Amino acid sequence: MSTQMFGAPIPRNVDPRLLKGEGAYVDDIPLTGALHAAFLRSPFARARIVSIDVSAALAYPGVAAVYTCDNIGSLDMEMPLLVPHPCLIGARTQRPLARDEVFYVGQTIAMVVAVDRYTAEDAAALIDVDYEPLDVTVELEAAAAEGAHLVHPDVAGNIAADFTQTSGDPDAAFAKAEHFTKVSVRIERSTAAPMECRAVAARYDGATGELTVWDSTQGPIPIRGGLAAIFDIDEDKVRVIAPDVGGGFGQKVMLFYPDEVLVPNAAMELGAPVKYIEDRPENFLGSNQERTQVHELELAANKDGEVLGVRDTFLHDTGAFIPYGIAVAQVASTSIAGPYRIPNIWIKFQAIYTPTVPVSPYRGCGRPQACFAIERAMDKLADELGMDRIALRRKNMIRKDDFPYLREGLLFADGLAVRHDSGDYEGAIDMLEAHMDIAGFRAEQAAARKENRYLGFGLACYVEGTGLGPYEGAHIRIHPITGKVYVNTGLTTQGQGHETIFAQIVADQLGVAVTDVIVTEGDTLAYDWGAATYASRAAVVSGNAVYKTAVVVREQVLETASGMLEVAPIDLELENGEVRLKGFPERKVTLAEVATISNPLRYTFSESSKSAAQFASSAKHDRPPLDEGAHPGIEATDYYSPPCATWAYGGHAAIVEVDPELCTVKFLRYVCLHDCGRVINPMIVEGQIRGGLAQGIGGALYERIEYDEDGNPRNANFMDFLMPYATEVPEVEILHMETPSPLNPLGVKGVGEGGTIAVGACVASAIEDALQPFGIERLHEVPLTSNVLHAALDRAKAGGAP
């Protein structure tokens, strides 16, 4: 191939449409006569519902229906537990509309459907609910302590899950170690905050029995399966479309949110399309969040810095329900040893119910917490042993010849063993160290301190198990008339650029322009086998499925073209949408001609279609037009199912300046080194990293979902929940390493979440270094807001530090 598309930084196919305002997000889908839904949500964290009076709402002009738990039939149920696990104790999931009691502020109690959203909100305000408020314990450690008020009266201790995993012999390691380092770390709750809130629209055709649902989801296929099961209708009668989706970051892989079943139900009952477009406060009150964990981690090491073992026990806040099982905590627990050999691991967690918004994965999914715990401990260990932070890390890294490195006894979130498949972790830290010029920085830091400027250097390393199964598939067809290539996948996009990277993979196999490969995602009518977009798996799982399918299609093209040109397939090459005889480029057929002739026609309808007609020169007259076992057209379907996660990794380094008066943090440099295996499109990969990093910076310095002691959210809006603007996110230098994954044909690893994972640990490390002259304590929590830094500096002053 003269111009390989794999690896090229080409602009995206999807851009022009989005740039011109021609995107079609759920609320942009024109639905004539659509009714609009609004919810009444609980104002109490815990309360008994004594009575609900909807009469005034129902009588309000413009209202079509008011739903409570009493008139939704079989939907008045606990929603599915998505990812069951044996360690779950009393797993609780939410009901679409509360029955008898509520468990967090924002829980849905009633849904009003009216002519427009304005009217629906008016009517929702007229619903009269009589509550009997109950006492709550909101804060994670308090909720896990004895005497805490229970979220679910029958779940003792608020313990939703209790799980311990062991690798190696941690007791023996701790018995023989020479040095022990203990840290307690805390990571606060944040939220994905996609720019497009969640949205659902549904239309039911009573004549055909077909239900069409547009859902701003990451997983239309499981949504369809679930809706068909819940409503007891044939799967083929349900079509779920995730059209353009304005960001997801995990929040939209949760299913079912109440609206996802109630809106289709209303559309079927009312005989009109129904829409629910979540607004921003509702996204804070009703869409899942993640991050709060408190870790107690201890390292057992030798005096030379070799870490023999780790023991970590942590509390994981799962909110009021646990629909996604232990996924977040399990990923955190299996990532706890980071990129280090640490052969002996004991890790225990408890998932704790709190009367707050439920928790499910948000970009990073437990890894930022694990990375924060282990990396802060490694910094402390280095300081205690008087070792260089980088040298300590390098000493403990899994070595090149250790791969594949199995952590026997640890099961990852896909139910498969934790097995670091490949990498060059030492090479990575060498490259990062060389790039940062640490010695030069230390001189600069010393000089700055003389001018009362406080600079600090921080670093953190991470690993990420990416590309989880079970499988994905792809269907590829070459259009007979145009020769364009159509690719259908079961994935969805929320802006990652799959449509372009999949097109690059196909373009290389079929010799067509990337813009002539049209990728469809997120429509169960186009393709309905697969899981969803999550766990940094699109390029790995779908990418390889697309590749394998394209290889099959290429063989079909060569086979058919060899018959047309009367030469052996091996003598042919594919380029510019043509199949040519090598060395004789004028002997060629176009892909369109190949696709056309592969489909014997009874009726012709255009000039080009005549070549496939019954009396065309190529037609066979002595046997069936289709050979036994052959299929018409050039098309194929194939699948890729990964043997286990493939592990990406990297390191972040930052140089910050901290203003000890204003307690603000300014980035002077931020460097991200990463290895996601072979890179399909470096421009898109860098975009993923920069975006993930910005979310990491939000979590490191600003973003914290705050609840008061009664469980009321205190910052459920963009004014008070501080997401970074362009003024808060630094320019990021990106260093690439490429260790091909041995687990899949393309050699790729996932990159969707990697940018986020190490930021908190790296930033804390840098700020701590900057503020050393003040003798502050170690910074073992994020976000490190100005208030947190101010308090730390105050405590240092009170302690009589210099």
Partner 1 sequence: MSKKIRSAAPKAATDSTAEISLTINGEAITREVSTRRLLSDFLRHELGLTGTHVGCEHGVCGCCTVIIDGWAGRSCLTLAVQADGADIRTVESLAADDGTLHAVQQAFHECHALQCGFCTPGFLMSLVNYFERTPSPDLSEDGIRSVLAGNLCRCTGYQNIVAAVRRAAELLNVEGAKS
Site for partner 1 in 703-762 (CB under 8 A): 717-719, 723, 725-727, 729, 731-732, 755
3-state secondary structure of 156: helix
| Between 647 and 721, CB nearer to partner 1 | 721
| Between 76 and 169, CB nearer to partner 1 | 76
- CA-to-CA dists, residue 670 to 421, 432, 692, 731, angstroms: 28, 11, 13, 7
CB of 564 to partner 1, least distance (A): 36
| Between 496 and 544, CB nearer to partner 1 | 496
33 binds partner 1 (CB under 8 A): yes
634 binds partner 1 (CB under 8 A): no
- In this structure, what token pair is assigned to residue 707? 């609840």
- CA-to-CA dists, residue 500 to 51, 253, 362, angstroms: 54, 22, 24
* Beta strand extents in 367-484 (DSSP E only): 405-411, 417-420, 454-466, 472-478
Q: Which residue has the tokens 């690439």?
A: 736
**b/e per residue 299-317 (b: at least 16 CB within 10 A):** bbbeeebbbbbbbbbbbbb
3-state secondary structure of 352: strand
Q: Name the one range near partner 1 by CB under 8 A: 268-276, 625-633, 661-669, 740-748.
A: 268-276
Out of 101, 162, 171, 269, point to the residue binding partner 1 (CB under 8 A). 269
CB of 370 to partner 1, least distance (A): 23
CB of 227 to partner 1, least distance (A): 13
Dist CA 637 CA 550 (whole Å): 9
CB of 151 to partner 1, least distance (A): 30
Tell me the residue type at 636.
A
Q: Name the one range near partner 1 by CB under 8 A: 133-141, 269-277, 410-418, 501-509.
A: 269-277
CB of 8 to partner 1, least distance (A): 13
Strand partners, 344: 309
Residues 329-358: x/- map of binding to partner 1 (CB under 8 A)? ------------------------------
Out of 271, 632, 742, 773, point to the residue binding partner 1 (CB under 8 A). 271
534 binds partner 1 (CB under 8 A): no
CB of 527 to partner 1, least distance (A): 21
Dist CA 244 CA 242 (whole Å): 7
In the window 486-505, what residues touch partner 1 (CB under 8 A)? 494-497
Q: Name the one range near partner 1 by CB under 8 A: 164-172, 640-648, 686-694, 764-772.
A: 686-694
Sequence-separated (6 or more) residues with CB below 8 Å from residue 45: 102, 103, 104, 105, 136, 138, 355, 356, 710, 711, 712
In the window 213-252, what residues touch partner 1 (CB under 8 A)? 231, 233, 244-247, 249
- CA-to-CA dists, residue 442 to 39, 435, 437, 456, 763, angstroms: 57, 14, 9, 9, 17
Residues 96-125: x/- map of binding to partner 1 (CB under 8 A)? ------------------xxx-xx------
For the chain, what is the largest distance between any 2 Cα atoms, rounded to a whole number of angstroms?
100
| Between 305 and 752, CB nearer to partner 1 | 752
Q: Site size for partner 1, by CB under 8 A?
A: 75
79 binds partner 1 (CB under 8 A): no
CB of 19 to partner 1, least distance (A): 4
| Between 195 and 798, CB nearer to partner 1 | 195
| Between 24 and 567, CB nearer to partner 1 | 24
| Between 268 and 757, CB nearer to partner 1 | 268
373, 185 contact by CB (below 8 A) = yes
| Gyration radius (Cα) of the chain, Å | 29
CB of 638 to partner 1, least distance (A): 28
DSSP 8-state class, residue 402: G
699 binds partner 1 (CB under 8 A): no
CB of 42 to partner 1, least distance (A): 21
Rounded to the nearest 10 degrees, the angle between the axes of helix 759-770 and helix 367-385 is 30
Out of 646, 695, 739, 765, point to the residue binding partner 1 (CB under 8 A). 695
Dist CA 357 CA 346 (whole Å): 30
Dist CA 124 CA 113 (whole Å): 9
- In this structure, what token pair is assigned to residue 731? 């320019």
Out of 38, 64, 111, 143, point to the residue binding partner 1 (CB under 8 A). 64
> What is the rounded (10 degree) CA torsion for 88, 349, 404, 687?
90
| Between 593 and 686, CB nearer to partner 1 | 686
Out of 5, 12, 143, 634, point to the residue binding partner 1 (CB under 8 A). 12
Residue 761 Ramachandran class (φ > 0 left, ψ -120 to 50 alpha, else beta): alpha
CA atoms within a 13 Å half-sphere pointing along the CA-CB vector of 589: 24
In the window 169-208, what residues touch partner 1 (CB under 8 A)? 192-197, 206
422 binds partner 1 (CB under 8 A): no
Dist CA 766 CA 667 (whole Å): 10
Dist CA 306 CA 387 (whole Å): 11
In the window 273-332, what residues touch partner 1 (CB under 8 A)? 279-280
| Between 338 and 713, CB nearer to partner 1 | 713
| Between 26 and 371, CB nearer to partner 1 | 26
CB of 25 to partner 1, least distance (A): 7
| Between 30 and 386, CB nearer to partner 1 | 30
684, 501 contact by CB (below 8 A) = yes
3-state secondary structure of 460: strand
| Between 340 and 670, CB nearer to partner 1 | 670
CB of 270 to partner 1, least distance (A): 7
Sequence-separated (6 or more) residues with CB below 8 Å from residue 658: 454, 456, 664, 665, 666, 767, 770, 771, 789
Q: Name the one range near partner 1 by CB under 8 A: 26-34, 391-399, 561-569, 572-580.
A: 26-34
Out of 1, 3, 22, 515, point to the residue binding partner 1 (CB under 8 A). 22
360 binds partner 1 (CB under 8 A): no
| Between 115 and 552, CB nearer to partner 1 | 115
Out of 21, 386, 583, 802, point to the residue binding partner 1 (CB under 8 A). 21
124, 38 contact by CB (below 8 A) = yes
- CA-to-CA dists, residue 731 to 359, 546, 667, angstroms: 31, 34, 9
In the window 665-684, what residues touch partner 1 (CB under 8 A)? 683-684
CB of 86 to partner 1, least distance (A): 36
Q: Name the one range near partner 1 by CB under 8 A: 28-36, 128-136, 536-544, 594-602.
A: 28-36
- CA-to-CA dists, residue 151 to 79, 285, 356, angstroms: 18, 17, 9
Strand partners, 310: 299, 345
Residues 447-486: x/- map of binding to partner 1 (CB under 8 A)? ----------------------------------------
Dist CA 687 CA 497 (whole Å): 10
| Between 432 and 694, CB nearer to partner 1 | 694
CB of 276 to partner 1, least distance (A): 14
Out of 331, 505, 634, 693, point to the residue binding partner 1 (CB under 8 A). 693
Cα 403 off chain centre by: 26
677, 749 contact by CB (below 8 A) = yes
63 binds partner 1 (CB under 8 A): yes
Q: Name the one range near partner 1 by CB under 8 A: 270-278, 505-513, 583-591, 603-611.
A: 270-278
